[in-house]
Each structure stands twice: as structure tokens, then as C-alpha cells.
Amino acid sequence: MEHSPIFIVTGADIEPRKERYIEYMLSLHKIFSYGFPVYGVVSEHIKGKDNTPFAQLPFKKLTFIGEGHLDAFNKSPREFISIKCLLDEMQDLDIDDSTFVIKASGRYLILDDSFVSLVQSNQLNPNVNSIIRLCDNDTQQYTFLYALRYKYFKAFYNQGLHMLPNGKNIEQATLEFLHANNLFETTLRVDRLGILTNINGEGAFRIF
């Protein structure tokens, strides 16, 4: 049974592949350096083409979603469906519900250990169920790096896509889930994640 935090990491095998290969390689090596179990999901995967860095690293479970399977959905539903597919394949694994899941984007590099150390130090604290950074006037939370107990992480994704109607993104829906399930009172809010991002591939690297 897992007692340390675990990582759940998302990625997509899409253009520009060379730039993304570098981003994934740097980010994933940092994630694996913590020594926690790592689970991953890669969408837009071309069958028979396993040169993505995800395929080269020792994931506890790695799920591939084939190219074109998510074409009917935009960014937030794609991420939701991808993680739900991974969780479905993790059902038989012996992971305690109290385990902290650190959800991370496979593209963004964690620059310092402050967030991960905070999660680790609160693994046995029953008064903390999530660790997040708020954004957009506290109406959303960043989802490229946050932590949530495995019990609630599964519950969020078991709701189904109906909780992401047109116009609502996963950043808003995740925060609404915390409020709706009385988890916000046991949520630590941080002002810094220590992660280098390149949101939407715009080339504007920023540290959050």
C-alpha cells in the first residue's frame, strides 16, 4: 500500500514534437527524482511510435490514448477524459485513499522542491486534504500542479463530463468541487508553486 505521495502526470504526443520532447524530458526527470511512484497518461499517441520520453521512464502505470480519439473535445474535456482513463486502469492497484496525488503537467519543469516538500510533510496530517494555488480572482485554481487526496481525486473524475459544460474549464471545476464537498476548509493555499510554465505553447515562459 502506498504511503508516500504519488504523481499523476499528463502529456500529449503532438506538434511541435522536438520542442515537446525536450520539455517532457526535463520535466519528467525532475518528477522521477523525488522517488515517488509516478503514473502517467499520454494522449494523441501514434500506435507503434514509442519515442516519447514517457515510454522511456519507469512509470508504475502508463496509459496511451490513440491519435484522434479526443478530437471532438477541447482542452479541459481532453484532460478530464485522459486522467479518467488512467484512473480506470489504476483501480486494481493498492493505493490508500488518504495518499496525496500530486497532479502535474509533464511539460512544465518543477524548479524548486517547496511544493512537493509541503505535500510530503502533510501526508499524515488529517486536517489537510488539498494543496493548491488560486488564480483568476480566486474563482479557479491552477491544475498544472496541485495536490489532492486520492479518495477525492477519484471522486472528482468519477463525476463524468457533465461537470464541464461549454465554457467551464477544468481549473474552475476543480475548485468548485472542493467547495461543494466541504474540502476548502482543509485546503492549504500557496502563493508559489515553483514551476516553469509555457501555457498553451505561447512561448512566454513564466514561473508560478
Over range 1-6, report the average pLDDT.
Answer: 76
Residue 112 covered by a domain: yes
pLDDT at 198: 82
Region of 186 please: left (phi>0), alpha (psi -120 to 50) or beta.
alpha
Please state whether beta strands 38-45 and 61-66 pair in parallel, antiparallel, or not at all (unpaired): parallel
**Range(s) of the domain holding residue 134:** 6-207
CA quadruple 192, 5, 86, 64: dihedral, nearest 10: 80
Q: Which triple of cell numbers denotes residue 41?
A: 497518461
Nine cell digits for residue 195 = 514551476
63 assigned to some structural domain: yes
Query: Any idea which residue has 474540502 for its cell?
Result: 183
For Cα atoms 108, 26, 196, give the angle at the middle one, nearest 5 degrees. 30
Task: Judge whether 1 lies within some domain.
Answer: no
Q: How many domains would you assign to the chain?
A: 1
Q: What is the pTM of this model?
A: 0.93
Here the CATH number for the domain that contains residue 148 is 3.90.550
How far, in whole angstroms, is CA 2 from its chain's centroid? 18
Question: Binning pLDDT at 50, 70 and 90, where does residue 48 land?
Answer: low
Rounded average pLDDT over 8-18: 81
Using pLDDT thresholds of 50, 70 and 90, give the confidence band for residue 75.
confident
